[in-house]
Amino acid sequence: RQDMNKNAADRDSVQQINASNSPRGTMEAVFQGNLTLDFAGQEAINTICSSMTFVGRSMKRVLITSCRANEGKTFIALQIAIGMTRRGKKVLLIDGDLRMSVLRSQYNIRLSGSSFGLAHLISGQCTLDQAIYATNIPNLYLMPDGTSVKTPLSLLTSAEFGAMMNALNESRSEERRVG
């Protein structure tokens, strides 16, 4: 019952997301799937997030990877992102699985707007602002995969991907100076 009330509150909080809450505009991504962890899971994620906060202010990027499919990369990345937002950090979760992403289907994410994402951005089909979505989780922003591609490595190793990462670092620095 408590989980049902929390899920209803999460859905209601979608109404509160607006342009003033999102430096990237009014595009929204709504997580409708189950994001709750048991106590042991919460403690494990808290331990990871606490360790990450002690690394220092210079750490700006985290990459979650493994050798095979279905090893929990999406789950861990999302839980760490949520854990960091609970510490007051603004987090952009980038779905870099351009071949077989499960993020949107696994968590029943509904996107507003034109459904642009990382693949669209790197291939020049949209702007950075069009690829970033505010979510119903405070301080969490999402850049979805966009569309599946046959050769994701060529996009992820492109100059455009590097330029995107640099632009994100610059906007983060500007946000820190202003806010």
Cα angle 141, 145, 148 (rounded to 5 degrees) comes to 170
Task: At 160, list the tokens.
Answer: 């455009």
Helix axes 73-85, 39-53, angle to 10 degrees: 70
Task: At 72, list the tokens.
Answer: 């929990």
Rounded CA-CA distance 156/61 in Å is 15
Whether 119 and 12 have beta carbons less than 8 Å apart is answered as: no
Three-state DSSP at 90 gives coil
User: From first to last of its 179 residues, what are the pLDDT tens digits of the chain?
Assistant: 444 344 333 333 322 323 333 444 568 999 988 888 999 999 999 999 999 988 877 778 899 999 998 899 999 999 999 999 999 999 999 999 998 899 999 999 999 888 899 999 999 999 999 999 999 999 999 999 998 888 889 999 999 999 999 999 887 655 544 43
At residue 111, what are phi and psi to the nearest 5 degrees?
-100, 140
Predicted TM-score (pTM) of this structure? 0.79
